[in-house]
Structure 1
Amino acid sequence: MAWQELILGGQKSGKTRRAEQAARDWLDAAPGRSATYLATGQALDDEMRARIARHQVDRAARVPGMQTVEAPLQLAQALQAHSSPRTLVVVDCLTMWLTNWMMPMEAAASSTSAEPSPDWGAQRSRLLQVLAHCPGPVVLVGNEIGLGVIPMGREVRAFVDALGVLNQDVAAACSRVTLMAAGLPLQLK
């Protein structure tokens, strides 16, 4: 079975750069290898469009030749479609993927529920199932946001709880888990 690594950390902790370095190392290790980046962010406002554009330019400079595939909701299906023994897949990031399911921008004004979409549980289960059977290496990036005080709003508490459970489940499925802080890795598993 191929290896999987979960890279957790706070915002701007160096998570994505570490994942990109894993992709570069993979590509450099043997000819005929490829790398695919599964992007979960959505360009729904001007700031996010600019952020995504900047990330695309930076990623192309750091890991030339890495293919980018947008997978804001159907992450398990994209992972299954792109994983192969000669392809390393980077998933960036689990936190945005969960946000897309729990807090969809188009439904934000009309929703009063703090609970994840009923489809979220099936999507989470499917991701874990696919991850367990990936024929190639996978590097997943996610935020660790549960280190602070308990949030005041029920929607935010539900999100923090759901992300904590997702991180635990993915960490259990991965052969490696790394926590990033200030650009420095701490191997947890």
Structure 2
Amino acid sequence: MKLARSELILGGQKSGKSRRAELLARAWLQAAPGHRATLIATAQPWDEEMRARIERHQLDRARRVPGLATLEEALRLPECLAEHSRPEHLLVVDCLTLWLTHLMMPAEGSGLPAEAVESSIMKLTQSIAAAPGPLVLVGNEIGLGVIPLGREVRAFVDMLGRLNQAVAAVCSRATLMAAGLPLTLKDEA
């Protein structure tokens, strides 16, 4: 599994996208003694179920990829990439969908206006393009199903589609995961 300079991994829930990101991180860490890898986790423990899910993911990840460090960053993702990206340091973002959720529908109240979200997406794509080190970005593809009821949910689905398109445009590889299998959508690596 060859690592691209930047890869966007999309898929539905339990499609294998996080597992692919972990395999890429493990391969990166094993490729050279000076390599480092950090997972930038965007999830926040809003309730007990989410707390338990995060804890389970942390334990599973530590077992599968022992050298993978974790950094929690729910909102400042563009700045986090700029601060931590280095040629010998792989950054894995899991996941872009939760990052967008925090911008648009935060647990504590109203989200950012659409223009501010668009600006955040632009900053993210600029950070991806400027990153000196390798990146793996994980996100959900949720636009394949029925059109959701409710204005806010439709706005979120639309914005997620724009986020995925913008990130795919600046990444050198884009992969769609289904049933644990990768389908390469783009590969300029």
Q: Same fold (TM over 0.5)?
A: yes
Summarize the Cα distance change of 1:38–1:80 in structure 2 as closer, same or farther, 3 Å threshold: same
**Which residue does 1:157 correspond to in 2?**
154
**Which residue does 2:98 correspond to in 1?**
96
Query: Among residues 83, 87, 90, which one is paired with 2:89 in the alignment?
Result: 87
Query: Are 1:101 and 1:117, in contact at CA under 8 Å, matched by a contact in 2?
Result: no
Unaligned runs of 5+ in 2: none
Give the Cα–Cα distance (whole angstroms) in 2 for the partners of residues 183 and 32 of structure 1: 30
RMSD, matched Cα:
1.3
Shift of 1:119: 3.1
Query: Is residue 2:177 matched to residue 1:180?
Result: yes
**Which residue does 2:17 correspond to in 1?**
15
Query: Are 2:29 and 2:67, in contact at CA under 8 Å, matched by a contact in 1?
Result: no
**Which residue does 2:70 correspond to in 1?**
68
**SS of equivalent residue, structure 2 residue 45:** coil
Query: Is residue 2:165 matched to residue 1:168?
Result: yes
Shift of 1:66: 1.1
Q: Give the 4+ runs in structure 1 shifted more than 6 A.
A: none
State percent identity of aligned pairs. 66
Give the Cα–Cα distance (whole angstroms) in 2 for the partners of residues 116 and 34 of structure 1: 37
Give the Cα–Cα distance (whole angstroms) in 2 for the partners of residues 160 and 184 of structure 1: 24
Query: Among residues 8, 24, 28, which one is paired with 1:6 in the alignment?
Result: 8
TM-score by length of 2: 0.93
**Which residue does 1:35 correspond to in 2?**
37
Give the Cα–Cα distance (whole angstroms) in 1 for the partners of residues 123 and 176 of structure 2: 25
Give the Cα–Cα distance (whole angstroms) in 2 for the partners of residues 134 and 160 of structure 1: 27
Give the Cα–Cα distance (whole angstroms) in 1 for the partners of residues 156 and 114 of structure 2: 11
Query: Are 1:10 and 1:144, in contact at CA under 8 Å, matched by a contact in 2?
Result: yes
Which letter maps to 1:130? Answer: S
Which letter maps to 1:146? Answer: G
Shift of 1:17: 0.4
Summarize the Cα distance change of 1:116–1:148 in structure 2 as closer, same or farther, 3 Å threshold: farther
Query: Are 1:93 and 1:140, in contact at CA under 8 Å, matched by a contact in 2?
Result: yes
Query: Are 1:36 and 1:90, in contact at CA under 8 Å, matched by a contact in 2?
Result: yes
**SS of equivalent residue, structure 2 residue 14:** coil
Unaligned runs of 5+ in 1: none
